[in-house]
Amino acid sequence: MVWGAIATWRMAHDGVVKALDLLERKQHSGDAVEELIKTVEDYPYYKSVGYGGLPNAEGILEMDAAFMDGDSFKIGAVAGITDVSNPISVARKLSDDKFNSFRVGEGATRYAMTEGFHRKNMLTERAHKIWEKRLKEIHENNLNPYNGHDTVGAITLDQMGSMTAGTSSSGLFMKKPGRVGDSPLSGSGFYVDSQIGGATATGLGEDLMKGCLSYEIVRLMGEGLSPQAACDKAVYEFHDKLTARYGKAGAFSLIAMNKAGEWGVATNVEFTFSVGNDKEAPQIFIANMGENHTTKIESITQEWLDAYEKRIKAPIE
Ligand code: GLY
């Protein structure tokens, strides 16, 4: 029997390890994806997801998340939810509802409270300090306010052949209140069909949603492309289209896994990810855009990991 999990960024690695452990013990792909993403949401030093995520321009932490079941195509999603410890769990719960399964803002938060989800102030002191510092820099130096949009996106495959996709993000740092990225949008931030495979995205939501790249990658895998070939084709052809029309493309990276547990990634920026399956132990890789619409994928070095650890925990001056 095959199983596997893949997720965006180095931050997802501990969650991938937990998900693979569940999958090895024949747990459902939905449980595995939820556990994976909760692990990222709960860790205070990740600045773009859940607890410790960076707030919007008014200092409020608004979060987006989605959950999709690849057997039934059921989707649950939240956007601009606040004060809830695990947006992915709220999205999963909503995926059981035939109607009202994508909630935004106050309606999403109220739904979570009514359903008994854990209420928590998700804005850490550290995230608040980073926000204050950035606000000052923007005003003093007339800087572009927006940076940072690293979503955790994940796909899991279980031994019963079911696949699930999930995403969670605090979105673009300094976004305007009510701004929603690609992460809760089906086809843009995520898509999964257990009979084919799944894909999820991270990067600049405003550009990702122009291309519906997660759906496109699943569609290409359905036509027989390997996950790597599907990612390369969808991501680099769209990167070229945006570049032709705007002179440049926002940063984005996509990951995919098919129903055989094979995986692929493509990116137009340096991108780390974690992946494992029944044959390969979980491992962190670093990817970069290669030549002629290919992706260069290398194992991460200890030096890179040490520098990352230092960077995410550095004191805020
Ligand atoms: N990809 C996350 C966002 O743009 O909000």
What atom in ligand 1 is closest to the CA of residue 175?
5
Number of domains in the chain: 1
Considering the domain boundaries, does residue 8 fall inside one?
A: yes
What CA–CA distances, in Å, run from 73 to 56, 76, 187? 31, 10, 12
CA torsion, ordered 284, 180, 106, 49, to nearest 10 deg: 20
* Bridge partners (DSSP) listed for residue 293: none
pLDDT at 279: 96
Query: Domain containing 231: what range?
Result: 4-312
Structural domain contains residue 204: yes
- Going from the Cα of 229 to the center of ligand 1, the distance in angstroms, rounded, reads 24
In whole angstroms, give the CA distance from residue 103 to residue 94.
8
For residue 170, give the ligand 1 atom closest to its CA: 5
Q: Which of 8, 61, 182, 188 maximizes ligand 1 atoms within 8 Å of its Cβ, making it the mutation to test the pocket?
A: 182
* 29 Cα to the center of ligand 1, angstroms: 24
* pLDDT (mean) for 189-195: 98
Cα of 298 from ligand 1 centre, angstroms = 25
Rounded to an integer, the average pLDDT of 222-250 is 98
The answer to whether position 306 is within a domain reads yes
Distance of alpha carbon 12 from alpha carbon 16, whole angstroms? 6
- Average the pLDDT over each of 124-138, 216-230, 231-245 and give the range with the smallest value: 124-138
Q: What is the mean pLDDT of the chain?
A: 96
Report yes or no on 152 lying in a domain: yes
List ligand 1's pocket residues with C-beta within 6 A.
Answer: 149, 151, 169, 171-172, 181-183, 202-205
Both tokens of residue 42? 């709960």
Distance CA 67, CA 69 (A): 7
- Strand segments (E) across 182-278: 190-193, 197-203, 252-258, 263-267, 271-277
Distance 75 CA to ligand 1 centre (A): 18
Q: How do residues 140-165 score in pLDDT, each as one tens digit?
A: 887 776 777 689 999 999 999 999 99
Quick check: is 301 in a domain?
yes
pLDDT digits (tens, 9 = 90+) for 273-307: 999 999 999 999 999 999 999 999 999 999 999 99
Which atom belonging to ligand 1 lies closest to the Cα atom of 172?
A: 5
pLDDT of 200 reads 98
Whether the per-residue pLDDT at 195 is higher than 80: the answer is yes
Dist CA 228 CA 254 (whole Å): 10
Q: What is the pLDDT of residue 140?
A: 86
- 9, 168, 208, 271: residue to mutate for ligand 1 pocket, most atoms within 8 A of CB: 208
In a domain, 167, yes or no: yes
On the question of pLDDT at 211 being above 90, the answer is: yes
Separation of alpha carbons 316 and 313, rounded Å: 9
- Global model pTM greater than 0.85: yes
Q: What is the DSSP string of 274-304?
A: EEEESSS--EEEEEEE-SSS-EEEEEPPHHH
Q: What distance in angstroms lies between residue 237's CA and the mean position of ligand 1's atoms?
A: 20
| Residue 75 counted as domain residue | yes
The pLDDT, as a whole number, for residue 142 is: 72
Instruction: State the pLDDT at residue 281.
Output: 97
For position 143, what pLDDT does the model report?
Answer: 72
Q: Is 317 part of any domain?
A: no
- The tens digit of pLDDT for each residue in 66-103 reads 999 999 999 999 999 999 999 999 999 999 999 999 99
List pLDDT tens digits, range 254-275.
999 999 999 999 999 999 999 9
Q: Which atom of ligand 1 is nearest to the CA of 189?
A: 1
Whether residue 175 is predicted with pLDDT greater than 80 in this model: the reply is yes
- Cross-strand partners of 296: 288
* pLDDT number for residue 317: 79
User: Closest residue (by CA) to atom 4 of ligand 1?
Assistant: 205
Q: What is the CATH number of the domain that holds 155?
A: 3.60.20.30
Q: In what order do the strands lie in the sheet with 263-267?
A: 190-193, 197-203, 252-258, 263-267
Residue-level pLDDT at 138: 87
* Spatial distance between the Cα atoms of 10 and 209, rounded to a whole number of angstroms: 24
Residue 313 has pLDDT above 90, yes or no: yes
- pLDDT surpasses 90 at 25: yes
The stretch 32-55 carries a mean pLDDT of 96
Residues marked as catalytic: 151
